[in-house]
Structure 1
Amino acid sequence: MLSAYCSKNQTSWDSLLPQVMMAYRATPHSTTSLSPNVMVFGRNVVLPCELATGVAEKSAKTIEEYSLQQRMNIEKAHDIAREHLKKTFNIPKEVL
């Protein structure tokens, strides 16, 4: 991804790294169909334009509700990823 955005002499890669990593983390993986951000944090990346327009998803009211919701989101994401991996690689159900 970096090579697509770096200048010809490749001196700007370090200044582009945060944007490239944000794009990578927000992009669904072809095998799991989920983004790395969903797999790790249980939610999609909130982009600046979503914050500015108020489209960003609303969080739970208390810390306990938020924690429980995030845990459920991560568990669901992992279940979905396991199913996609089984289909993609023809893995027996007992293995995963």
Structure 2
Amino acid sequence: MDDRVLLTVSSIGVILGLLALLLLLNVASFPETLQEEGAFELSGSLKGIDQGMPTKATLDYCSSIPLIIFDEVSLDEDEYVLVKGELEGGELVVGSIRRNQHSS
């Protein structure tokens, strides 16, 4: 009986240790929030806003619309980032975002 209790307690300890390790890894790789302001060209799939909305749009980003950066890539001297954001109470899933070079 004592061996079973010891095995159960050690198993729970191992499981909790693995969960803590996964949590630390997840926190370490948590995406950044886009802090810049200005006009951005969005391209990708849009969900939860309007089914008729085109997949490419221009958004004047402000701090009230948080965009979460998941990855950064550079193509043709333009900065692209993969983001997920929220707009007008719906979920905006953006495949990529490009800084509009014409904005001031």
Same fold flag (TM > 0.5): no
TM bucket, shorter chain:
under 0.3
Between structure 1 and structure 2, the one with the greater Rg is 2
- Greater percentage in helix: 1
Task: Give the TM-score, by structure 1 length.
Answer: 0.25
